């Protein structure tokens, strides 16, 4: 199993079309159904078109929420790069 480490590459949103994408030499498949995640596992998410993150946010901290059937996950992260769509 691959471990996600280091910085993630900046992608053009058009690169995220289709059923899979290669990032940093690893092939990732787009989910089409539920995603079972083992305890302690990691989940890689690229967000395209986030309404609340803009070019002016580079260098600042933003909050991102993810909702599931069983939980709400909240994280804060530093915006390090962005592309205009």
Each residue of 68-77: pLDDT tens digit?
A: 778 898 989 8
Q: Is the pLDDT of residue 61 over 90?
A: yes
Structure tokens that stand for 46 in this block: 């690229």
Q: Is the pTM of this model over 0.75?
A: no
Structure tokens that stand for 76 in this block: 């804060």
Q: Is the pLDDT of residue 85 over 70?
A: no
Structure tokens that stand for 39 in this block: 């305890």
Tokens 């309404």 appear where?
51
Each residue of 8-32: pLDDT tens digit?
A: 767 777 777 888 888 777 788 888 8
Mean pLDDT of the chain: 79
Convert 10-47 to b/e letters by CB count within 10 Å (16 or more is b): eeeeeeeeeeeeeeeeeeeeeeeeeeeeeeeeeeeeee
pLDDT at 1: 56
- CB of 65 within 8 A of CB of 77? no
């Amino acid at each position: 199993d691959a471990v996600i480490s280091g910085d993630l590459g900046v992608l053009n949103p058009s690169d995220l079309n289709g059923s899979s994408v290669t990032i940093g030499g690893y092939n990732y498949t787009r989910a089409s159904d539920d995603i079972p995640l083992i305890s302690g596992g990691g989940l890689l998410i690229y967000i395209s078109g986030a309404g609340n993150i803009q070019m002016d946010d580079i260098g600042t901290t933003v909050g991102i929420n993810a909702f599931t059937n069983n939980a709400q996950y909240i994280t804060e992260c530093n915006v390090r790069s962005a592309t205009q769509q």
